[in-house]
Amino acid sequence: EVQLVESGGGLVQPGGSLRLSCAASGFTFSSYSMSWVRQAPGKGLEWVSHISSSSSTIYYADSVKGRFTISRDNAKNSLYLQMNSLRDEDTAVYYCARWDSRGYDCWGQGTLVTVSS
C-alpha cells in the first residue's frame, strides 16, 4: 500500500525553525518527484515546494523562498522541509504529496505547524 506519513509539526515561536519529515512506503520513492502543500486554518490549499526524483530540480512558492528548504534522502525513503524564520502566516497543516505525470496522486494525512508566541 502506498503511504506517506508526515511528522515534525508542533508549536514554534515567530522567527523560529522547524524540520518536517515525510516517510514514504509502498512504492519506489526514488522514482517520483515530491512536494509539500499546506492549508492554513480556514483557507484553501497552497503549494509550498517541489523536488524532482534526483533532487536536481527544486521549486519554491514566492511566499517561502529564502526561508524554506526542501530536500530528500532516497536511501531513507524520506522527504524533508526545513523551515526557518517562521511567521504567523506559516501556521498550517503541511501535507507531503507524490507527483507523477498526472498530478499529485498520493497525499499524507498532514502535520500541523503552529507559529505563535
Instruction: Give the interface with another protein as residue ranges (CB under 8 A).
Output: 35, 37, 44-47, 50, 59, 61-62, 95, 97, 102-105, 107-110
Nearer to another protein, 1 or 62 (CB): 62
Q: Are strands 92-100 and 111-115 parallel, antiparallel or unpaired?
A: antiparallel
Nearer to another protein, 56 or 117 (CB): 56
Nearer to another protein, 101 or 117 (CB): 101
Task: Give the integer Cα–Cα distance in Å for 67 and 65.
Answer: 6
Contacts of residue 25, Cβ cutoff 8 Å, sequence gap at least 6:
1, 2, 3, 5, 77
CB of residue 110 vs another protein: minimum separation in angstroms? 7
